[in-house]
A and B are shown apart, each in its own frame.
Chain A
Amino acid sequence: MFYALKIATRYLTANKAQTALLVTGVAVGVFIFIFMSALIGGLAEFILSRTVGDISHITIEAETADPALLISPEGHVLVVAERGRTRTASLAEAATWLPLIEAVPGVRAVSPQITGAGFLMRGAQVSQVSVTGVAPGRESAIIDLDGYMVAGDVRLGSGLIVLGGDLADDLALSVGQTLRLQSSNGVTATLTLSGIFETGNGGMDGASGFVSLSTARTLFSMPQGVTRIEIKLFDLNAADATALRIRALTGLDAVPWTDGAEQLMEALNAQAQTGYFLKTFALITIVIGVASALLLSTYRRRPEIGIMRAMGAGRGFVIFVFVMQGALIGLMGGIMGAALGYLSLLPFPSRDAFEPGTLPMDIMQGSYGLAITLTVIGAILASILPARSAARVDPVTAIGQ
């Protein structure tokens, strides 16, 4: 069918202005498709990074065990067992699980933690604080604490604490000053403020503090184990699958971030569907444009089609000539639109550098290959009707025109 391809190419090049206009129309449709893909994808990425970017993607928490029954269950005694409220549940064998979890594909960082509540005291001032003990070197494994530091540094050593900016302001604290922290277990420690962070999250900046894991062990009377393990993934969309894998591997109750984030997921899905609609409309525009242009071409070339049929060209040959025209228009328009889309997205900041006030375009989510493929398929489908119409041309009538 090389010859049909040659004729299709010749027809397209015979009227360069018309073909250029048609290809440009297709390219604009593809450009809109790519622009919308980058915008919707970038927006979703932006929202996710702002909402769940600084949280654990998978969390394993110690389950509070019921107290053991000392009465034999064979007796006729009614027992009411109340779950302990003061004892802190722990993952005693966390050290065993950590290397296994770190080896799971897709896992970027693992942070064993001891968490608890306490009171910060400085002079007569007292503030409630949520304390997280993290292992040395893993301070920024989950939340980018290092990036949020506004004073001091994130280094957590023995006797050091890092606080949120609002909390430090409430207590009129500055880096290097000392304060007392009393844990919910009643243990009090004197700590030095080594750094202040501001995440922009009011709850976190006003009531959170980070200490070293060893300091947390003392504060919460936990000589071994941890209360939770937080896991960060390379792809937060893989949280569900990775959580299942970790659960199967360790038997621990690994909970992905998507549990309890139904509203966010619904919003993102609604946004994605809006994008699908817009992209579908762009494709429909392409299909209608190509179909109408080729129908016109079919009508204009009726006498030539009649001659071809008289000279022995079969209906299949004629169909192929017009379908190839559609495919070539789709391919050229697709590549041109994809190139335009890519070039127009270059000036936008990368996904890691989104700034307030700029459109969160993600050049990596332009769906270039998909746009070209769908455009070629759409253009081929659009050309079938004109091609069939061309194949039905009666050579006798057409030659007489």
Chain B
Amino acid sequence: MSALLEVRDLFKTYGTSEAATRVLRGLSLRLEVGEMAALLGPSGSGKSTLLTILGTLMKPTSGSYVMLGQDMITADDKALTDFRNAHIGFVFQFHNLLPDFTALENVIFPTAVREGRETPAARARGRDLLTRMGLADRIEFPSANLSGGQKQRVAVARALMNSPELVLADEPTGNLDRASAMQVMDLIDQINREEGTTFLISTHDEKIAGFCRRQIVVGDGVVTG
């Protein structure tokens, strides 16, 4: 297996002087291509901060981060935005869909924003992904009218739209009932096995972590296991 990303000695401090909170304290981590990893740890251990930094939405206070051979620390905002669009997918706890758009429009957003328009090819891929998510009959539904589980499956489809190498999921099933949670995890597991997409899933749920072949435990701002 080859390295998809590697971070070393990551430090992240929020605030300054006396109000400063050090969340990451020299965290190092390496993810291989095609891995399915769970990120475990108590609240406040730095899991979400790590996902945010890996998703290039925030820079660490210090440390190095290389993904697909590119230095994420020195890249400017535009380069990071383009990189994120092409190589990283996100699944949030609260799905975070665009409420005024249909399921399909939400799914194809990452491609449309890159192409500048909704191409027929993008629409076809979006339909295909939604069908794989079991939402064939909800393609043109306004996203606001979908159930929680359906919204989260749309969010997974959106994360996969640009065929990213890495999908970061922050408590993707935390807001779902058990049946919906299992359904979403089955889909993630299937995609990981079939397409080799790397998943890093932050969770408190041991059953969800059980889907992953690697468990990364974070505690007190470093990887402890």
Contact = CB atoms under 8 A, between A and B. Distances in A.
A315 interface: yes
A49 to B, nearest CB: 55
Given A304-B98, A304-B99, A313 B52 contact: no
Main secondary structure of the interface of A (DSSP, over half): helix
B149 to A, nearest CB: 19
Interface string B69-85: 00000000110011011
A309 B109 CA distance: 11
A396 B113 contact: no
Interface residues of B, number: 30
A366 interface: no
Given A1-B116, A2-B116, A396-B52, A312 B82 contact: yes
Nearest to B85: A312
B100 A312 contact: no
Interface in A292-317: 303-304, 306-315, 317
Contacts of B86: 312
Contacts of A204: none
A309 B98 contact: no
Nearest to A2: B117
Contacts of A11: 100
Contacts of B109: 308, 311
Contact of B84 (A1, A306, A310): A310
A311 B158 contact: yes
A71 interface: no
Interface string A1-43: 1111010001100100000000000000000000000000000
B57 A395 contact: yes
A4 B117 CA distance: 8
Interface of A: 1-4, 6, 10-11, 14, 303-304, 306-315, 317, 395-396, 399
30 contacts: A3-B112, A6-B118, A10-B101, A11-B100, A14-B100, A303-B96, A306-B96, A307-B96, A307-B97, A308-B109, A309-B57, A309-B81, A310-B90, A311-B90, A311-B109, A311-B113, A311-B158, A312-B81, A312-B114, A312-B162, A313-B81, A313-B85, A314-B78, A314-B82, A315-B77, A315-B81, A395-B57, A396-B57, A399-B92, A399-B96
Interface of B: 52, 55, 57-58, 77-78, 81-82, 84-86, 90, 92, 96-101, 109-110, 112-118, 158, 162
